[in-house]
Amino acid sequence: MSHTHSSAMAITFVLFLAQIFVSVTSSSEADKIISLPGQPEVTFQQYSGYITVDEKQHRALFYYFAEAETDPASKPLVLWLNGGPGCSSVGAGAFVEHGPFKPSERLLLKNEYSWNKEANMLYLESPAGVGFSYSANESFYEFVTDDITARDNLVFLHRWFTRFPQYKKNDFFITGESYAGHYVPQLAQLIVRTKTRFNLKGIAIGNPLLEFNTDLNSRAEFFWSHGLISDSTYKVFTTVCNYSQIWREYQSGNPTAVCAQVNKLVKREISRFVDAYDVTLDVCLSTIDQQAQMLNQLQETEKIDVCLEDETFTYLNRKEVQEALHAKLVGVTSWSVCSEVLRYNMQNLEIPTVPILGELVKSGIQVFVFSGDQDSVVPLIGTRSLVNKLAKDLGLNTTVPYRAWFAGKQVAGWTQVYGDILSFATIRGAAHEAPFSQPERSLVLLSALLEGQPLPEAVFSR
């Protein structure tokens, strides 16, 4: 047998094996969504389903993927993670914030500021126990940590890219908000450290929990500067007992008399009729507000009013919707925006993630931190000071001095960029969930991130 012939046979055999491998692993066709109930006609493809991250424990994570409206092959891939810990990226991120549709009664309405105008959007319900994601071994839920979440998310990505190999070369960004100030940097760090060959270009985190004491204690100044508490209360709130102290005492179940008194005073002045997630809003918000509930939970705190007509909850609990999404309920009786089975290790809230941001910057990953400026849960005041300090520690010079940025003809917020790699921006008039409350401005911010450009300056025609 000639050498050429045997080489040809070997190549044929390798191709044959490759085909088998692809047919086994690439079941993206099986995940294709034909159409969601009540959905308007669209030209882009949608997929959803499960990726097993642990065969032994039967642990599987649920995802929803909306390809870009135009030219998906050349557009970046953006992973979105909601916070909590324990809240749903599909329910909050996709259906309330920036996915292609928003539920309204029995219909889905087109979202004109959907992020899939700019990118291929991948929404992941993580860790297991959140939304439709599950672990058949329920003891998994008893003690979930940031480490476990990051590792499972990395396994998910490896297997998702095997199912969707055509996206492996696209620019890749990891984004999220609130407690995703932990999830996003930790996952990016794991990708960098394991030298995983995803094309990771940058991360973006909104109103993120980065450093527990700074973030929580900046609430006092936020409340005071917005007129929600008096001068005298501001004084005791910063000298007698601060917010991080109050949180720790209530977590341990035995608040001291002095901190309980300060907490009572603050709550009485703010009143029960202000939404901590958007201090200027005077109507009830959707369940999306539960996603940072953990950051806010004190014993006396009432559950956040999630409005009686919660469209997303109703929609995702319809049988035919779950069938269209290839979703199932395992160990729970209904889908919920924030997990009722998960016991997250709340000590993890105190892990600072600012050093991880520094590590990512050093490895050449774009880091974009943004703040809805009406949020008192993780206020811009603490976030801005943390980014500022990080830039100093890294020795980064300011490349875009603090200035206003624009969406349309209006000021959309303020921004500062350090070393062309670390950016901070506020989104004017935005709540804790910025894309929900300021969709147009958030979409402009996403575009800037994906293009690696500073946020737009004012351009007024004469």
User: What is the set of active-site residues?
Assistant: 178, 375, 432
3-state secondary structure 216-243: HHHHHHHHHHCCCCCHHHHHHHHHCCCH
Contact 181, 360 (CB under 8 A): no
* Helix (H) or strand (E) segment spanning residue 410: strand 410-418
Amino acid sitting at position 285? L
Coil, strand or helix at 23: helix
φ, ψ of residue 31 to 5 degrees: the values are: -90, -5
Whether residue 435 is preceded by a cis peptide bond, meaning omega within 30 degrees of 0, is: no
Write the burial class of residue 299 (CB in 10 Å: 0-12 exposed, 13-18 middle, 19+ buried). exposed
Cα angle: 75, vertex 175, 200; to 5 degrees: 60
Amino acid sitting at position 391? A
Coil, strand or helix at 335: coil
* Helix (H) or strand (E) segment spanning residue 89: none
| Angle between the N-to-C axes of helices 257-270 and 243-252, in degrees from 0 to 180, rounded to the nearest 10 | 120
* Helix (H) or strand (E) segment spanning residue 37: none
Supply the DSSP string of 127-180, one letter for each residue. Answer: STTSTT-EESSGGGGGSB-HHHHHHHHHHHHHHHHHHSGGGTTS-EEEEEETTH
Sequence-separated (6 or more) residues with CB below 8 Å from residue 120: 65, 66, 67, 68, 72, 75, 76, 77, 78, 167, 170
Beta strand residue intervals within 182-341, DSSP E: 200-206
* Helix (H) or strand (E) segment spanning residue 403: strand 398-407
φ, ψ of residue 199 to 5 degrees: the values are: -90, 55
| Angle between the N-to-C axes of helices 212-225 and 243-252, in degrees from 0 to 180, rounded to the nearest 10 | 120
Q: Which of 448, 51, 366, 75 is nearest to 192 (CA)?
A: 366
